[in-house]
Amino acid sequence: MAELLALSFLLDPDHPAYQVRPGQGYDGVVRLTINGTRTCTGALLTSGRHILTAAQCFETQTPGPPTLQPNPNSVQITFELPRGLVGRTAAAIHVHPQWDNSIHHNANLAIIELAQAAPAEADRYPIYRGQDELSEINQVFTRVGYGLPGDGASGADPNGSHQRRIGGNRYDAFGDLLERPPQGFQADATLGNITAQTQLLYDFDAFTRTRDALGQEYGLHDLGVLRQIIGFSAAERGVPPLIERELPPNPQRFEAIPISPQPRSANPAHPFIIPWESGATKGDEGSPAFIDGRIAGIASHGVAPRTPGINMSEGINGSVGEYFLDTRVSAYADFIDQILQQTSPIPDQSGMIFGLIIGTVALLRIFQRFNQRL
């Protein structure tokens, strides 16, 4: 069963290591407000005119008939910049024509065309195109989104605030793997019909084998992603929360990491390691997953494992043990390129102003000559 997604962590989601401040390289990750109430996330593309997000953000019910032509007036785009919050409106919303608004979430992709160019200081991001059909698999990605806060034990906090947070995970397989039932289970018809190699699958691990959903059900063992931070005091001063490097290898046998609000090195000059593994919650729909600074995935939906005892909480709420799926951006590169190429350019305002000045000067000269004759 699938449900809407926000970033959820093993530690306190308000820890500085998971916060994204303006000016840290993610100012092109924007908050979308749909119909004044719903929050989603999007990412600014290199054109400076287009926001890549999820088609499901414009649906009121899933499953149901797909909304292929959403009202542009339904969305407000907010950039969180060093100078403050800057808003933009939409001129058009381009939904992928094969978006099915089903539990399979096929072609869950949309592009918002801005009515005017994005702020100059907002970061622009290229898309990940890949070198082969498996290029994203087994790669660690960085997720930035406006989802509700949460911890891995209980999932998302429904009373939390939609702030920009950062985390990571690893793509383990394509989403259509879930069409194959785990050992000991019958095929689940509700998970069939996922378009092959168009969704990227990962799970929310807790560094224990019992919570490793893909390991338990499909034999794809990976117990989680760690991050090394050099000097906690530097993180507190606002050092961009980027993945400096993956710690090879990730632990294969690890006791459960206790929930701790403030992991800290005894000596701030020394590095310390925190869990970087994260899941997704409501508000992260449409959020980008970056590989090498390029958008490789767009957050789509979650699925609960079928084996009892893996999921730390009932349902799909961003807790440890759940599956998550992203729309694979490289599979839809042609659609993205087409939309960016067909968008009409914004009129050159500088030329209009120059013409206005010339016209005004000409009128003044006419009036001067008229007054001289009088």
The domain locations on the chain are 2-343
- 271, 265 Cβ separation under 8 angstroms: yes
Superfamily of domain 2-343: Trypsin-like serine proteases (2.40.10.10)
- The pLDDT confidence band at residue 12, using thresholds 50, 70 and 90, is low
Beta pairing, strands 84-95 & 323-328: unpaired
d(CA 356, CA 366): 16
Which pLDDT belongs to residue 234? 42
Q: What digits encode the pLDDT tens for the residues 271-292?
A: 556 677 888 889 999 999 999 9
User: Of 148, 218, 147, nearest to 179 (Cα)?
Assistant: 218
What are the tens digits of pLDDT across the range 238-269? 444 443 333 333 433 333 333 333 334 444 45
Checking if the pLDDT of 212 tops 70, the result is yes
**Which residues sit opposite 166 in a β-bridge?**
144
